[in-house]
Chains A and B, each alone.
Chain A
């Protein structure tokens, strides 16, 4: 057979494969009920609903993938290929409509309902079938064209579209933030009664695209300008930046409103825990699935020492108890480490899992009920007060979490760059060799568990006042798993990664709460896609980056006198 024909057949196969794959994805979303569930959610009022956005994303994705795969070919070939793949997605989706209308699929697939078919055919019956195919073909062509565009054009467009999409998706929350004064004016400019107005979407697009252009244009010169300043001026500049950040944080809860503040406090608590677990898993390589135990210990310490209820051991102020709770969790961490010092690898996961459950069952037990309250928990935990300011609700507690997270992150960063941090790194890489190099691996591991536990204890202490009570059921194993997942998604060992990970895995699902169970579907899918595309995490450390992008080595700069620079995050 001619080689040309061979490759031609390969080309067709790749189009068919890609189209079928994305088509199957779209059908899957339809049949699990997601498409119907989000069909009332308007991204741009009267123009585009979330359901259609998702469906068209399938065609778009297929087009982009084909175009990427055909990187060496002519532009028109790539666009035609992408359009064909998009068309295939349309065919797949409409096949479902045609089959579903003639055969009753509901016996097996409860979501395969007439309303779904209506959505999939734009509410026009069989007349909508070619329309959907056409739309998907267009989406495929656009998707294929995207990689062909020069970056200076593509980036602003993507930024603009993302902005409009995100604001449209979260329009309820955004509208809540824009209630009064100037903000109310902005609201009426962007939104109509049903959601984001078309002209609002255009405005947002222009705004974000403009920002992106400005950024591309002025970022490097601005950086050069700042570096070129005399040191004194630069210090002033730094103070101004810091002041702006602090001011932004101060007004944040009042702009964001109650609900978002609540979500942010939760993100903060998970960030604190993430920083602790990151120290154990990311720095020292010690897997820990019982991490929630320290969170519980911190919360119960605060509960018992501050409560006004009958279980009170003392009536101390919250501020006095926080250091106590930290120390108690630290000691708990060390004790936790003792029996599992010699355990490694997979077995460590099981052993630590057991420890987490032991703590939960202990606080739940009838045996300790007189002291810990059993399933009733500890109630009546008073809010902390600082010079007349009461930390009443999320909008005040947010300051507490921000300050605590900043402090803890600072401590973690200093530890990472210290001798102890180097020892952790050695233990993570090869415990036996670490020992042979003179590192006291016993102490070093116990310190990792202790300090990691202490960080979680701080988180628990804030959690206790956030709820005003502590219950055993708040401390189940899912929290440990979630914290582990967030540091993996953020980037193992990376400090900024912890915050990014907790925004993505804790913040986002909270914001998507109205999609009820589907958010876990999205959560799972995002985890899988993430690990495929960015196994090193969203904000990885330099070490993780070189590990997962094999062969990509640091530039060999002679006289490059950095002390273990690998442990520090790059800023990319």
Chain B
């Protein structure tokens, strides 16, 4: 039984046909990665799933429930939350305030406090800096905060848009480890990455996006072995 199902998605920016019939699915408990070159339409796919963009055609369902017609805030309430590209944290607010903002859709006090603790175990660095203004965090810490904030809404599916962008290699590794950790705690992950090598290491399955279309799909192992993929994304 699939959790998130996307069928024949067509998205336009005015005249520009950005997504030309994307079909993909994510099963419960999986990490699925979406890789592709700049401008392939990866961010567009995520934004459409999370309701920030409207598809002209196609279906998006979460456990059979239609998402395509819902506004973004209701998609979050249904359990799909996106960590936007480029770590858009609330720079003037503290770490703690950023995290509380993530729990906006929830009202039960105890659960929120519990999750806060869980996120602090996941990211001990954030715990030390809970009263610090988020804008003064390092790049890696900001990415952790953005992920933590999204987790505060208790998503069933976490959509990550290039979490490794602009980070030093050590931090990239750390972030990917964390994503695996989050997944093991029960959150399903759809991961958009340019760093195909790392993404395919932690994902079970992957899709290769090319100019708005799915060019290839399969298990992470198969994709890693695929000659085309090796040539285009894995540097050999």
Tell me the A residues contacting B by CB distance below 8 Å.
Answer: 419, 422-423, 425-426, 429-430, 432-433, 435-442, 543, 546-547, 551, 553-558, 560, 562-566
Q: List 7 A-B contacts (CB under 8 A).
A: A436-B72, A438-B81, A440-B71, A554-B94, A556-B130, A557-B131, A565-B97
Is A433 a contact partner of B92 (Cβ separation < 8 A)?
Answer: no
CB distance from B121 to the nearest CB of A (A): 15
List residues of chain A with CB within 8 A of the CB of B77: 438
Chain A nearest Cβ from B219, distance in angstroms: 30
- In the bound complex, what is the Cα–Cα distance between A362 and B68 (angstroms)? 42
In the bound assembly, the distance between CA atoms of A435 and B94 in angstroms comes to: 19
Give every chain B residue within 8 A of A563 (Cβ-Cβ): 100
- Chain B residues 119-154 with CB under 8 Å of chain A are 128-133, 136, 149-150, 153
- CB interface residues, B 84-106, toward A, < 8 Å: 84, 88-94, 96-97, 100-102, 104-105
Asked if B82 is an interface residue, CB under 8 A from chain A, the answer is yes
B50 at the interface (CB under 8 A from A): yes
**In the assembled complex, how far is the CB of residue B181 from the closest CB belonging to chain A, in whole angstroms?**
22
Q: A433-B88, A556-B129, A566-B93 are in contact. Are A438 and B153 (CB under 8 A)?
A: yes
Which residue of the partner chain B has the closest CB to A547?
B92
Question: How many angstroms between the C-alpha atoms of A554 and B73 in the bound complex?
Answer: 31
A422 touches B100 (CB 8 A): yes
Q: Is B40 an interface residue (CB 8 A)?
A: no
Question: How many interface residues does chain B have, given as a range?
Answer: 35 or more
Complex partner residue of B133 from A422, A436, A440, A554, CB under 8 angstroms: A554
A423 nearest in chain B by CB position: B104
Q: Are B104 and A554 in contact (CB under 8 A)?
A: no
Which chain B residues border A435 with CB–CB below 8 Å? 52, 72-73
Contact A438 B131 (CB under 8 A): no
**Known pairs A437-B81, A437-B149; A430 contacts B131 (CB<8 A):** no
- B76 interface residue, CB < 8 Å from A? yes
Residues of B whose CB lies within 8 Å of any CB of A are 50, 52, 71-73, 76-77, 81-82, 84, 88-94, 96-97, 100-102, 104-105, 107, 128-133, 136, 149-150, 153
Chain A residues lying within 8 Å of B93, measured Cβ to Cβ, are 425, 429, 543, 564, 566
The residue of chain B having its C-beta at the shortest distance from the C-beta of A426 within the complex is: B101
Q: Are B52 and A426 in contact (CB under 8 A)?
A: no
Q: How far is the CA of A210 from the CA of B77 in the complex (A)?
A: 61
Neighbour of B131 across the interface among A423, A426, A437, A560, CB < 8 A: A560
Q: Are A551 and B88 in contact (CB under 8 A)?
A: no
Task: Report if A543-B92 is in contact (Cβ < 8 Å); known contacts: A436-B50, A437-B149.
Answer: yes
Q: List the A side residues contacting B52 at CB < 8 Å.
A: 432, 435-436
B-chain residues with CB within 8 Å of residue A437 when the two chains form the complex: 76, 81, 101-102, 104-105, 149-150, 153
| B-side contacts of A546, CB under 8 Å | 92, 133
CB distance from B25 to the nearest CB of A (A): 22
Chain A residues positioned under 8 Å from B132 (CB to CB): 553-554, 556
Measured in the bound complex, the distance between the Cα atoms of B84 and A529 in whole Å is: 40
CB neighbours of A422 from chain B (8 A): 100-101, 104
Chain B residues with CB below 8 A from A543, complex form: 92-93
Whole-angstrom distance from the CB of B69 to the nearest CB of chain A?
15
| Contact A554-B84, Cβ < 8 Å, known A543-B92, A560-B96 | no
* Chain A contacts for B76, CB-based, 8 A: 436-438
Instruction: Say whether B136 contacts A439, CB under 8 Å.
Output: no
Residue of B with least CB distance to A560: B131
Find the B residue at minimum CB distance from A443: B73
Which residue from B100, B105, B150 sits with its C-beta under 8 Å from A564? B100
- CA A363 to CA B24, docked complex, whole Å: 58
Give the shortest distance, in Å, between A23 (CB) and chain B (any CB): 41
Q: Which residues of B contact A423 (CB under 8 A)?
A: 104
The distance from the CB of B88 to the nearest CB of chain A, in whole angstroms, is: 5
- The 3 A-B pairs with the shortest beta carbon distances in the complex, nearest first, are A438-B76, A438-B105, A429-B90
CA distance A564 to B89 in the complex (A): 15
A556 and B81: CB pair below 8 A?
no
Q: Is the CB of B131 within 8 A of A554?
A: yes
Cβ–Cβ < 8 Å partners of A553 in chain B = 131-133, 136
A518 to B3, CA, bound (A): 71
The residue that B92 contacts in the complex, of A429, A438, A442, with Cβ under 8 A, is: A429
In the bound complex, residues from chain B placing their C-beta under 8 Å from that of A565 are 94, 97
Q: Is the CB of A436 within 8 A of B82?
A: yes
Q: B202 → chain A, closest Cβ, in Å? A: 23
User: Are the C-beta atoms of B104 and A439 separated by less than 8 Å?
Assistant: yes
Please give the distance in Å from B159's CB to the nearest CB on chain A. 9
CB distance from B58 to the nearest CB of A (A): 20
**Chain A residues, Cβ within 8 Å of B105:** 437-438
- Nearest CB of B to A418, in Å: 12
Residues in A with CB closer than 8 Å to B81 are: 436-438
State the Cβ distance, B206 to closest chain A Cβ, in Å: 24
Bound form: Cα–Cα A547–B92 in Å: 6
A440 with B73, Cβ < 8 A, contacts A553-B136, A556-B132 known: yes
Q: Which residue of B lies closest to A442 (CB)?
A: B71
- Nearest Cβ in chain A — how far from B154, in angstroms? 11
CA distance A425 to B97 in the complex (A): 10
Chain B nearest CB from A127 CB (Å) reads: 60
> Across the interface, do A438 and B73 meet the contact criterion of CB distance under 8 Å?
yes
State the Cβ distance, B169 to closest chain A Cβ, in Å: 27
- Which residues of B sit under 8 angstroms from A429, Cβ to Cβ? 90-93
**Which B residue's beta carbon lies closest to that of A429?**
B90
Q: CA–CA, A437 to B102, complex, Å?
A: 6
- Chain B CB count within 10 A is highest, among A426, A436, A551, A564, for A436
Q: Is the CB–CB distance between B73 and A566 below 8 Å? A: no
Q: Considering the chains assembled together, what is the distance between the CA atoms of A551 and B88 in angstroms?
A: 19
Rounded to whole Å, the gap between the CB of A131 and the closest CB of chain B is 53
A354 shortest CB reach to chain B, Å: 26
